[in-house]
Structure formats: C-alpha cells, structure tokens
C-alpha cells in the first residue's frame, strides 16, 4: 500500500485532507480495504420473499445477484458469467428458475450451478467440467431485522457483531412488528464522492437549517424553526457514534415532522408503549424521534422520513443513489402508500431535500479537481470536547443536536479498516481496549473520550 491513510485523517483532532474526496489511488484502496472487508447492505427480505425471487445490486463496484434458492436460503453470487465474463443477469429484479447469459446461453440454477450449456456435446465434446464453472458465491450473507447484508471477507465477524451497538439501536424499529422496504428503489446518479453523502447522513444536522432553509420554511411544521440556523433549539436531540463506524443523530419527538401526516403520528403514538414495554423507555423514546443515520460504509437512512439509501460508488467522483421507503409491516396499506409518497417527495430522486443536497455533494467533490484546493484540510471538530458516554445509551454520545461525533467515528474506523492487516487485528484491538477499561469503540475511556 503506497498511500498512507493515517496521514490523510486525524480523527483525534477532527481533521481530514480534502483529497479523500478526489484521489484515484485512495479510491482503489477503498475497494480493496473498505468495500471488500465490510458488511454491505444488499436488499431486504421483503423484496425476495419467494424461492426464485432475485434482486441485482452491487457490493462496491462488483455486481451481485441476491436470490432465494429453492430451499428458501438467501445467497449472493457475483453477477458475472464464468464463460467469457459477460454480465449474467441484466434484469434488476424478478422471479426465475435459472439465470441465462445473453451472450452464448449458458444457464445457471438458483444454487449457482452451471446447469446447461448450449451444444455441449457438439462444441465441447461433453468434456466441459461444469462442476468447476458455477457462479462465484459471496462467502458471507446474513440478515438482521430482515435487512440482508453480504461480506466478501470470510474472516469478518458475524453481521450481528459488525453492527454491534448499532444493532441495539436498530431494534427500536425492527423488533416490534418488523419492517419492510417498499421498492423497487429509485435510482439516480450523483456526481460526488460516495463519502460526501455518507458523512452528511450520519450526523450532519448542522446543514439542515441552512441547506434546506427554504424547504423547511415552505413546509412549516415543527422543524420550520430550524430554518436559517438562526437559533439552536436547546436539548432537541443527541448524536451517537458506535463501534465500526456506524452512527446517527436524533431529534426527539420529531419522527413524523417532515411528513406531517397526522395518521403516521397517530400510529407512532399508539405503538410507542409497545416498543417501551418490549425494549425499555429509552428505545420507546427513540421510536418517536427522527433519525439521520449511517451503517458503515455506504448505507444511510432517515427513520421517520422513512428513506433507506445506498450510495454505490462509481469511481471517486460519482455514485449511484438507490432509495427505498422504509415502513413497518403492520402499518395499514394506505398509510404505507402515503408514507412512500412523502418519502419520495422529500428524499426521492426529484425530492425537494434531495435536490438541495445534490448541489453541495457535487461542490464538495469537484472543488477538489484543483490540485491546490485538494492540498487543503477540512475540519469535523464540532462538539469534540463534549463527546462522552451515556448511562443508558451504548457507544459514544454527544448530548447535543449539533455535533460531528459520528463523522469522527466514521473516519476513525475507515482508517482502522484501511490500515489493519485483517479483521483479526481489528477484533484483537477491540478486546484489548475493552480489557483495559476502554470503550468498545476502541478508544480509552477518559473524561472526554473521543471516538
Ligand atoms: S459469456 Fe456468458 S455464455 Fe458466453
Ligand atoms: Fe440534507
């Protein structure tokens, strides 16, 4: 590795070099060290409920097919034909008995086996070793709360361990009745580095009142007071950073604030006691909060605004945005429809808020085309002296709505993963720090611990 990631990121002081949003060499390293080692969101079980259902997506730049086999097992394969390497499945999703290549007609069954080859006797004299030519399988595929993730690294911890403290938080909305994603996802291209929207969603409540000032004012409602960033409402939320680079920010009692759907608010109020009884008062409170969140590395969501996103990298200066609507399974059908409409109106491809953000995502990337600009540094120091722990909430918590704690946590783990020899080194470091009285975030416990 010729590029030294540690020199680009100073997480203790909240500094990142601007070239992280532009550099080609760093991008190639990310594919090998970040995307090939992390658990990556693939799809939700609700999108492939029956045997033969499939969904095509990406793990980093690798195209994959996620399918349910005849026995109901969920598997993922590289979407590449083992004959001459054509993209095997060109549909986005559907139900099938086999995947047949459009180039020469090789056909693979749901278990990934090469099942049929045209003219096998005439062209190959029946000598083709079909058993060796099955589809390459993604070694690890697991679900949490119905969300299916895949990982290329066989040494990675289980999905549950990778999510760690974040799983405790996700249960807030997955554990009661379960959730589903309404698709198919909207897809569009953003001309920006994949980390720009990722860091935005994981913690950036600071931009909301400024970037979205006009939208907030026009919409009115409880968040309109944030418009223009003229005042910081006291105690309206917190920011959380958890081990392995995940994190989120909340605004209390604001889950339905952007939708402004009375029946959504009613639904949440009715179900909150169930969540509290199942998971405790704190998660009951989180259930009615609005969250902006990130699952490391490139999955983001807004709980409350109900949008679930993947930022698929397409080179250092472009990413594909895929957006689903997140709903609870036991919501009435008409409420699901209303929520989907609102989610797309705000954060769909042509959504008001999505359009506001796109301009800045582009700006944060393309300004670094200039070699002088990209020699500079950026800061994520907001709230750095107020990072702490919480008696009831796992991970690191900053007791303020405005803080870049989760951005610091994201880059901390990004550097750790990029520089570690393998997952064993990362796991050993976590245990060593915990044994010595530190937090599982990998940082020593001090009066003002820093993620
Ligand atoms: S490349 Fe797929 S059948 Fe030839
Ligand atoms: Fe935004």
The tens digit of pLDDT for each residue in 61-73 reads 999 999 999 999 9
Q: Matching CATH topology for 5-23+185-435 and 40-143? A: no
26-69: pLDDT as tens digits: 999 999 999 999 999 999 999 999 999 999 999 999 999 999 99
Would you say residue 431 has pLDDT above 80? no
| Paired tokens of 135 | 């589809």
Rounded CA separation 310/326 (Å): 13
Helix (H) / strand (E) containing 387: strand 387-388
Query: How close is the Cα of 116 to the center of ligand 1, in Å?
Result: 12
**Do the beta carbons of residue 147 and residue 160 sit within 8 Å?**
no
40-143: which CATH number, 3.40.50.10330, 3.40.47.40, 2.40.170.20, 2.102.10.10? 2.102.10.10
Q: Please say whether the beta carbons of 447 and 279 come within 8 A.
A: no
pLDDT at 437 (0 to 100): 45
Report domain extents, the chain: 5-23+185-435, 40-143
- Assign 259 a pLDDT band (cuts: 50, 70, 90): confident
Residues 110/70, Cβ–Cβ less than 8 Å: yes
Chain-wide mean pLDDT for the chain?
93
For the chain, state the CA radius of gyration.
Answer: 22
Q: Is 12 in the pocket of ligand 1 (CB under 6 A)?
A: no
pLDDT in tens, 138-155: 999 999 999 999 999 999
Q: How high is the pLDDT of residue 433? A: 59
Q: What is the mean pLDDT of residues 392-400?
A: 93
CATH number, domain 5-23+185-435: 3.90.380.10
pLDDT on residue 401: 84
Instruction: Output the six-digit token pair for 434.
Output: 């915990």
**Residue in 207, 362, 386, 390 annotated catalytic:** 207
Name every residue whose Cβ is closer than 8 Å to that of residue 124 and which is 6 or more positions away in sequence: 117
Q: Is 83 in the pocket of ligand 1 (CB under 6 A)?
A: yes
Q: Whose CA is closest to atom 4 on ligand 1?
A: 104
Q: For residues 326 and 183, what is the distance between their CA atoms, to the nearest angstrom?
A: 9
Task: Give this prediction's pTM.
Answer: 0.95
Average pLDDT over residues 124-149: 98
* Ligand 1 within 6 A of CB of 86: yes
Mean pLDDT of the region 237-246: 96
Q: What share of the chain is helix, strand, coil (3-state, %, to 5)?
A: 35, 25, 35
Contact 267, 335 (CB under 8 A): yes
* pLDDT for the residue numbered 441: 52
Q: For residue 446, what pLDDT is reported?
A: 39
């Amino acid at each position: 590795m010729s590029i030294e990631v540690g020199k680009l990121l100073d997480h203790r002081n909240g500094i990142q070099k601007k070239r992280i949003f532009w550099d080609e060499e760093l991008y190639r390293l990310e594919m090998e060290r970040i995307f090939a080692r992390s658990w990556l969101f693939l799809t939700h079980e609700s999108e492939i409920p029956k045997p033969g259902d499939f969904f095509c997506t990406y793990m980093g730049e690798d195209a994959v097919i996620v399918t349910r086999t005849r026995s109901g097992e969920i598997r993922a394969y590289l979407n590449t034909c083992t004959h001459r390497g054509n993209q095997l499945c060109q549909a986005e999703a559907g139900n099938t008995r086999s995947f047949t290549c459009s180039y020469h007609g090789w056909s693979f069954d749901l278990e990934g086996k090469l099942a049929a080859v045209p003219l096998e006797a005439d062209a190959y004299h029946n000598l083709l070793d079909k058993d060796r030519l099955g589809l390459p399988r993604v070694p690890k595929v697991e679900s949490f709360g119905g969300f299916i993730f895949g990982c290329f690294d066989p040494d990675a911890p289980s999905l549950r361990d990778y999510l760690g403290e974040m799983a405790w938080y996700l249960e807030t909305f997955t554990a009661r009745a379960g959730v589903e994603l309404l698709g198919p996802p909207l897809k569009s291209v953003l001309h920006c580095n994949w980390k720009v929207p990722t860091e935005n969603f994981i913690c950036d409540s600071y931009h909301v009142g400024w970037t979205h000032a006009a939208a907030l004012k026009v919409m009115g409602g409880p968040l309109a007071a944030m418009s223009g960033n003229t005042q910081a409402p006291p105690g309206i939320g917190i920011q959380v950073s958890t081990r392995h680079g995940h994190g989120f920010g909340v605004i209390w009692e604001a889950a339905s604030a952007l939708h402004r759907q009375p029946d959504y608010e009613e639904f949440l109020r009715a179900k909150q006691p169930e969540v509290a009884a199942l998971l405790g008062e704190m998660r009951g409170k989180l259930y009615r909060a609005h969250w902006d969140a990130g699952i490391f590395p490139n999955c983001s969501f807004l709980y409350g605004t109900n949008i679930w996103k993947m930022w698929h990298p397409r080179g250092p200066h472009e990413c594909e945005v895929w957006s689903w609507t997140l709903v609870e399974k036991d919501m009435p059908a008409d409420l699901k429809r209303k929520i989907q409409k609102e989610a797309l109106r705000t954060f769909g491809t042509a959504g008001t808020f999505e359009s506001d953000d796109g301009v800045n995502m582009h700006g944060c990337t393309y300004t670094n085309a200039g070699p002088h600009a990209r020699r500079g540094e950026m800061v994520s120091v907001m709230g750095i002296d107020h990072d702490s722990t919480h008696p009831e909430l796992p991970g690191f918590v900053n007791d303020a709505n405005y803080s870049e704690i989760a951005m610091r946590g994201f880059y901390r783990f990004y550097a750790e993963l990029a520089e570690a020899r393998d997952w064993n080194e990362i796991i050993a470091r976590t245990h060593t720090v915990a044994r010595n009285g530190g937090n599982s975030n990998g940082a020593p416990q001090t009066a003002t611990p820093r993620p």
